[in-house]
Chain A
Amino acid sequence: MMSLLDKFFGNTRGSKDEAKARLKLLLVHDQVDLTPSQLDAMRAEIAAVVARYAEVDMEKVDIRLEKAHDQVRLTSSVPVRRVTGRTQVAAT
């Protein structure tokens, strides 16, 4: 909630940042043609593959698709606590 004082002093953050952030996400989804649940599944699978080789802080995994100029790019930030060096093959 913006306080009246903030409004008076013109210190509020406008809605345009929200517009921009929503658009960036929207345009990727328009282009990629994956449902949000498919995207979630992709994120989980990528993180799981990394987790087979290293100890991953699953809470902080950030894997996203971004639109950069005329291409869609997958960027990922996967915090690793410790590289185990031993392959932990997940039971299937």
Chain B
Amino acid sequence: MSECIVVTSGKGGVGKTTTTANLGVALARLGKKVAVVDADIGLRNLDVILGLENRIVYDLVHVIEGECRLRQALIRDKRTENLFLLPAAQTRDKNAVSPEQMKKLVQQLKAEFDFVIIDCPAGIEQGFKNSIAGADRAIVVVTPEVSSVRDADRIIGLVEAAELPEPQLIINRFRAKMVKEGNMMNKDDVLEILAIPLVGMVPDSEDVIVSANRGSPAAFDDKSIVGEAYRRIARRLCGEQDVPFVATEAPESWWGVMKRWMGLGEGAQEVAG
């Protein structure tokens, strides 16, 4: 049974493309046949995050306009079996594609792949409508910031209005130290406001920038905590139950240790589940 998941957020710059790339890699490493689709027509980036930018010949718009076959446009990632990219067009705009055409394209992809993951552009206009048209469900990426949570709330409403099932949430760029200091909303704060099920927590890490520099998503790196976070989300998406969240607790400060010794501490404060 194959499934199409759209990765969306409303706000730009919260990590949709990074999430799409990493989930693609992680799912492929679990043995699933995966197509990642860049729906950000005119501003493509999934190709560079995956390090496949030099291999693009045809793109999504070529397929939709019948200039090539779907197979010709799909780029196979050589680092893992079963991962393919359908790049966006760079010189066209979002109106080059309609929701009906996207729906048809997704149907074609679902016939070949276990998972089709769509990287949705920021915003709530045409590009968003195209991206959700063929999707079976949505993952909303949010960072624990006021602007991102606000936009996520709006997107959740739009996803539900489009009659997709209740979306799942990924809390991205989580900073345990800031949570501990009371300067960042924690998991429960965000969930209290957005009230949808959590599918993953991804800590903020320099790994993401390094892997973007290299065009090699962190999910390839077995030592990366970010990679591990995405691999666990992939397992949850495959239906595995009770996969624990990655350790998102800040290391205890020297002062915290002192306070605990002196019996002044409030005890170990859990910042995330």
Complex: how many Å from CA A71 to CA B169?
A: 19
Judged by a CB distance under 8 angstroms, whether B181 is at the interface is: yes
A17 vs B192: C-alpha distance in the bound complex, in angstroms? 13
- Mark each residue of chain B from 129 to 170: 1 if its CB lies under 8 Å from any CB of chain A, else 0: 000000000000000011001100110010010000000000
Query: Contact at B146–A16, with CB atoms within 8 Å?
Result: no
**Distance between B25 CB and nearest chain A CB, rounded to angstroms:** 32
B270 located at the interface, meaning its Cβ lies under 8 Å from any Cβ of chain A in the complex: no
Main secondary structure of the interface of A (DSSP, over half): helix
Which residues does chain A contribute within 8 Å of B255, judged by CB atoms? 10
- From B146, B186, B195, contact of A23 by CB (8 A): B146
B183 within 8 A of A: yes
Q: By the criterion CB–CB under 8 Å, are B193 and A69 in contact? A: no
Q: Does A70 contact B (CB under 8 A)?
A: yes
Residues of chain A at interface, number, CB under 8 A: 19
Total A-B pairs in contact (CB under 8 Å)? Answer: 47
Verify B146–A26 contact, CB threshold 8 A: yes
Whether B67 is near chain A, meaning CB under 8 Å from some CB there, is no
Contact in complex: B150, A23 (CB < 8 Å): yes
Whether a CB of chain B sits under 8 angstroms from the CB of A20 is: yes
Does B202 interact with chain A (Cβ within 8 Å)? Answer: no
CA distance A24 to B256 in the complex (A): 32
A12 sits at the interface (CB 8 A): yes
**Chain B positions 189 through 224: 1 when the CB is less than 8 Å from some CB of chain A, otherwise 0:** 100110100000000000000000000000000000
Q: Closest chain A residue to B150 by CB distance?
A: A26
Quick one: which of A13, A22, A67 contacts B182, CB cutoff 8 A?
Answer: A13
A14 & B150 in contact (Cβ 8 Å cutoff): no
- Beyond A23-B150, A27-B153, whether A15 also contacts B182 by CB under 8 A is yes
